[in-house]
Chain A
Amino acid sequence: MPNKLSRRSFMSHISAAALAAVVPMPAFALSASSAKSLVDKLVADINRVIDSGKSESAMLKEFERIFDRYADVPTIARYALGVEARRASAAQLREFTQVFQRYISIKYGKRFREFIGGKIVVDSARQIKSFIEVKTTAHLRGEAPFDVTFLVSDKSGQEKFFNLFIEGINMLLTERTEIGAMLDQRGGNIDAMIADLRKAS
């Protein structure tokens, strides 16, 4: 017997779909294990790129995609601007974030590219304050293994990493220093700094 869809059940299907769209899904809770699996995926993607044997420019494009997908770039960009973020216009902030995304993914992509022949292994995850610290170890040929740590948060609405440390060297602080120096050289002119950053990347 053909399964005839009655008007009532049809309507209930529709409303269930509508309900699903309106009512938020159970809040996706940030946990050590969810953050760890995010970094697992991120590291698998990085390992895949460094194993691919592609040209430098092709790899850097891949790293830019990886950064876009896994990093909370607007938060990182805002932090890098520091106090200057407060006096930047919305348009300046938007443009800066865009240029910064390319700059930072190329800069860190170049570093990750030096991991060719090596591997990153995810070790552990734990909660610190409101975010999760995920520790990984980079094993490079002919070198003592070293520590790469990611900090993951869901405050942007999605689980993303917002900081990374290579042997204790903090990406957020390094970039705030760099962007601050660029602004100083341009007498605090945000537009000129954005133009410089565009050239640097």
Chain B
Amino acid sequence: MTAGSTLIACRALVRRDLTLVWRRRGDALNPILFALIVVALFPLALGPEPEVLRRIAAGVIFVALLLAGLLALDTLFRSDYEDGSLEQLVLSPHPLALLLACKIAVHWFTTALPLIVAAPLLGELLHLADPVRPVLLAALLLATPLLSLIGAICVALTVGMHRSGMLLALLVLPLYVPVLIFGAGACNAAGNALPYAAPLLWLGAALVVALVVAPLACAAALRISLS
């Protein structure tokens, strides 16, 4: 297969997945609504004191977005598996890892990016300190693709199961721990006027590695699941 035809295949896949999201655009708002509700629960549980909320704001937003992303993960391969397009993808003459990378990218673009856009609004609800906001956005921009890539491996492993929701959370969340620590850690460091570059750089380095390795791992996991 030539590189040109692979490019055509990737473009066809991206266009199809974007069209599908557009046709089901009612569902696209759900992750944002979920994150909004989770964030709104914290002042209700902890009380409305701005000082308390400001201290936990970045961490709560991070966790809320992580959980919203976790719920959205299930849609990554679910419908493709059920209608048989996933096996057509596996049977295509192009590198499966590359096609999966396209799928993950579209998924990130349509589920995680809206969440990042909504993050400043969530920050206002929790009185997020002004100097933390850019750090939070940078951390989310680096962390959410990482979460999508790691999550995709686990989704690929559970793709054949009927009710995989809880199991998927059990598989994914331990792997999310370092991302959460560095992402929320950078925000907390910024909130305490400490240097925050190091954790962001770690996230960036991890993202570069994951961009290369995770689609390959995802393809291998998918082949195991489909066998």
A binds B: no
